[in-house]
Amino acid sequence: MKIAHIGNMAQNAYLNARFQRAYGIEADSFDGGAILWQSPAWEDAPDIHPGKLSDRIFIPDPTFCLTDYTTWSRPPFAKILGYNHNFPAWYDTQHEFELHWHEKFRQQEKVLNYSVPTPRLQEHETTTMALYLKQWQAIQVLTHIYDMIVLYGFHVTNGITIPMHHPYLTFEHGTAHNIVAPVMERELFHFGHKYADMNIVTNTNMIPIFQEHQFPYTFMPHPVDTEKFCYQAPSQDNTFTIFVPARHVQPSHIMPGKANRTAIAGLHQFVQNHKHERIQIIMITWGLNHDIQTSKKLCQQLELDEYIHWWPCPLPKMSLPTVYKTADVVLDQFSHGAFGTTTIEALASGRPVITYINPAQVLLGYEKIPPVLNAQTPQEIAQWLEYVYTYPGRHGDEARTWIDRYHSWKHVTEKHIALYTTVLKGASHVYPRRPGRDA
């Protein structure tokens, strides 16, 4: 069984490939290479150096060479999707490519119409369209090498180029809002999810979107490396340490953000009652510069500066266990009503987590609510911080038990392999057929 995991957003493709190889699956991951948060080095390199790397977190840089910043070498299964350099071009011109695909899908369910360009297409005519062209050419080649393609996050837009007879899955982790968001790629997202053999959904707050659109989906929790993130006794000092690793994202018309302002306001309320105590707040300069500066300005206004240690970005995953050991409590996000890897890594490390979950939403995927301290307002955050400060060391055993039940990498990997086997054995008749696929 040969599986290609394409689009290493938040390290999910890389981790799934690594875990599946431990079970004997020929799984490879493909990332962009020039964007740091998609590089496997962020997950497994022990010595990524900060500094100017923060400028390359999100923005592609073709001159970026990670070897300048770490001695770590990527394993052979972690490949770079070199759109034009490593794969042959199947079309001589963009015009020839567009004519081929435009006509092919006009006969089935037309989802693209380049004859009516959007403002974004007009503005980025030579970059955006060229990027899609290169991606689609490369992925076409991969379908001749791998038994199955798994498209991650924004790479769901590449579903339109998977041949009709070739099975593919999507791995959704918080990007399905693009199906309904006012973005150029909306119709590509819609097509990619609709005609997948199955959509793997990892964030419960995305489930209603799949239900509304009647897309095939199955819920599978994020796998967590339970060897890397395991219980450690808290540091024995008199400092009460609050770790706030959430990326700084301000609300927009597409995404609700992480409610960083809510977290900062809650920290302010707590600190007001403990001005003479030893308190340390660890935040990461993680996000777009404008959003980081917005958070820093608010911290200054609320006189939190003396308590905050701003950790330079990137904070490699190999360093996270040490930070979790230092922390007495972890604050995650307060807007989505669901949770991602921060919560599960902190729980696996035996740390109490304050975050916002919507119980009804979470129960769409889980049988049991995670043992988090649920908060949505600054007042509730401050109250839970007071509770952890007064009663330290609670929730560790309960948290690890819940993680082992739902998020253990072995448990999740076995579920993935079972799904792949089902699809490849021809049981995809239970899933919607893509236009043109033989019955």
pLDDT tens by residue, the chain, 439 residues: 999 999 887 889 999 999 999 999 999 998 866 566 677 878 888 776 654 454 445 444 444 445 555 667 778 898 877 543 333 333 333 344 344 444 444 443 333 333 323 333 333 334 455 556 666 777 778 888 899 999 998 888 888 778 878 899 999 987 777 776 655 567 778 888 888 999 999 999 899 999 999 999 999 999 999 889 988 777 777 899 999 998 888 765 455 667 889 999 999 999 999 988 899 999 988 877 788 899 999 999 999 999 999 987 767 788 888 899 889 999 998 988 888 888 999 999 999 999 999 999 999 999 999 999 999 999 999 999 999 999 887 777 788 889 999 999 999 999 999 999 999 987 444 444 455 444 3
* Together in a domain, 281 and 178: no
CA 196 – CA 192 distance, rounded (Å): 6
Please tell me the predicted confidence (pLDDT) of residue 287.
Answer: 77
Judgement on whether residues 219 and 264 belong to the same structural domain of the protein: no
Residue 294 maps to a domain: yes
Residue 98 phi/psi, 5-degree rounding, is -65, -40
378 & 278 share domain: yes
On whether both 399 and 355 belong to a single domain, the answer is yes
Residue 352 exposure: Cα atoms within 13 Å on the Cβ side: 20
Answer yes or no: are the C-beta atoms of 357 and 380 closer than 8 Å: no
Q: Do residue 128 and residue 159 come from a single domain? A: yes
Residue 173 included in any domain: yes
pTM metric for this prediction: 0.82
Dist CA 331 CA 354 (whole Å) = 5
Q: What is the pLDDT of residues 143-153, one digit of tens each?
A: 888 999 999 98
What are the Cα distances from residue 132, in Å, to 8, 175, 227, 250, 300?
17, 18, 38, 28, 42
Residues 200 and 303 in one domain: no
Q: Are residues 215 and 245 in the same domain?
A: no
Q: Look at residue 255 and tell me if it is in a domain.
A: yes
The verdict on 289 and 416 lying in the same domain is no
- 3 state SS of 306: helix
Task: Report yes or no on 109 lying in a domain.
Answer: yes
Long-range contact set of residues 186-189: C-beta below 8 Å, sequence gap at least 24 = 187/111, 187/112, 188/111, 188/112, 188/156, 188/157, 188/159, 188/160, 189/156, 189/157
Domain CATH code at residue 76: 3.40.50.2000
Asked if residue 418 and residue 312 are part of one domain, the reply reads: no
What pLDDT does 183 receive?
Answer: 57
The tally of CA atoms less than 13 A away on the side-chain side of residue 112 is 22
Same structural domain, 400 and 415: no
Mean pLDDT of the chain: 78
**Per-residue pLDDT tens for 347-405?**
999 999 999 999 999 999 999 999 999 999 999 999 999 999 998 877 777 888 899 99
Q: How many structural domains is the chain composed of? A: 2
- Bond before 40 cis per omega within 30 degrees: no
Residues 6+ apart with CB under 8 A from 278: 238, 239, 240
Contacts of 301 (CB under 8 A, 6+ apart): none
- Asked if residue 235 belongs to a domain, the reply is no
Reading the block at residue 337, the tokens are 């009503």
Q: Which of 389, 365, 367, 386 lies closest to 375, judged by CA?
A: 386
Strand-pair category, 240-244 with 26-31: unpaired
* HSE-CB of 401 using CA atoms within 13 angstroms: 7
**C-alpha pair distances (Å), 187 with each of 118, 191, 203, 286:** 12, 6, 21, 30
3-state SS assignment for residue 343: helix
In a domain, 231, yes or no: no
Q: 160 with 303, same domain?
A: no
For residue 159, what pLDDT is reported? 85
Shared domain check, 296 and 340: yes
> Is 400 part of a structural domain of the chain?
yes
**Residue 345 belongs to domain spanning:** 240-407
Residue 360 lies in a domain: yes
Contact 408, 226 (CB under 8 A): yes
The C-alpha atoms of residue 191 and residue 206 are separated, in whole angstroms, by 17
DSSP secondary structure string for all residues of 14-78: HHHHHHHHTTT-EEEEEE-SSSGGGSTHHHH-S----SGGGGGSSS--TT--GGGT-S----TTE
